[in-house]
Amino acid sequence: MAVEQVEPLACGRDAADVWEHAEAGTLDEHELSCPHCRSAQADHDRLGGLVTRMAAEQLRPPPSVLEQVIGAVVADLRPHELLVLGPDAWLGRPTAEAALRHVVDSMGGLRARHCRIEQRRHSEDGPAPVWVRMTVTARFGVDLASVTARVRQMVVSAGERTIGIPIAGVDIHVEDLWDDALGAGR
Amino acid sequence: MTTRLRVSDLALARVAAHRARAVPGVVMLVGDVAQTLLGLAADWLPREPVPAELRTRGVVATVHGTRAEVRVTVAVRFGAECASLAARVRAEVAEEITATTGLVPRVRVTIAEIALPD
Give me the interface pTM, i.e. the ipTM: 0.85
DSSP B85: H
Give mean pLDDT, residues A164-179.
90
Does residue B25 form part of some domain? yes
Distance CA A186, CA A18 (A): 28
User: Which chain B residue is nearest to residue A128, measuring alpha carbons?
Assistant: B83
If you count them, how many residues does chain B have? 118
Angle between helical axes of A65-75 and B33-44 (0-180°, round to 10): 160
Cβ within 8 Å of B, A 139-168:
161-165
Q: What is the pLDDT of residues A74-104, one digit of tens each?
A: 667 777 889 999 889 999 999 999 999 999 9
Percentage with pLDDT > 70 across chain B: 92
Does residue B1 form part of some domain? no
Q: Residue A73: which of B33, B84, B116 has the nearest Cβ?
A: B33
The alpha carbon torsion through A57, A129, A119, A145 (nearest 10 deg) reads 80
- Give me the number of domains chain B comprises: 1
Tell me the pLDDT band of A56, cut-offs 50, 70 and 90. Answer: low
Range of the domain at B64: 9-38+54-115
Does residue B88 form part of some domain? yes
Nearest of A7, A62, A29 to residue A172 by alpha carbon: A7
Cβ atoms of A172 and A137 within 8 Å: the answer is no
Q: What is the pLDDT of residue B87?
A: 95
Chains A, B: CB contacts within 8 A come to 125
Does residue B100 form part of some domain? yes
DSSP A123: P
Nearest-Cα distance to chain B for A48, in Å, is 9
Q: Is the pTM higher than 0.95?
A: no
Does residue B21 form part of some domain? yes
Q: Which domains does chain A have, with CATH numbers?
A: 15-56 (no CATH), 81-182 (3.30.300.30)
Q: Residue A76: which of B33, B87, B114 has the nearest Cβ?
A: B33
Q: With an 8 Å Cβ cutoff, is A55 touching chain B?
A: yes
Q: Which amino acid is at A78?
A: R
Q: Residue B95 belongs to a domain with what CATH number?
A: 3.30.70.1350
Give the H/E segment covering residue A172: strand A167-178
Give mean pLDDT, residues B11-26.
92
Does residue B2 form part of some domain? no
Nearest of A150, A186, A17, A160 to residue A99 by alpha carbon: A160
Is A58's pLDDT higher than 60? no
Q: What is the pLDDT of residue A76?
A: 73
Cβ within 8 Å of A, B 23-42:
25, 27-28, 30-33, 35-37, 39-40
Cβ within 8 Å of A, B 55-74:
73
Does residue B23 form part of some domain? yes
Tell me the pLDDT band of B46, cut-offs 50, 70 and 90. Answer: low
Distance CA A151, CA B75 (A): 26
Whether B32 and A76 lie within 8 Å, measured CB to CB: yes
- A112: which residues sit within 8 A by CB, 6+ positions away? A100, A101, A102, A104, A105, A134, A135, A136
For A33, counting Cβ atoms within 10 Å of its Cβ (0-12 exposed, 13-18 middle, 19+ buried), the class is: exposed
Whether B114 and A63 lie within 8 Å, measured CB to CB: no
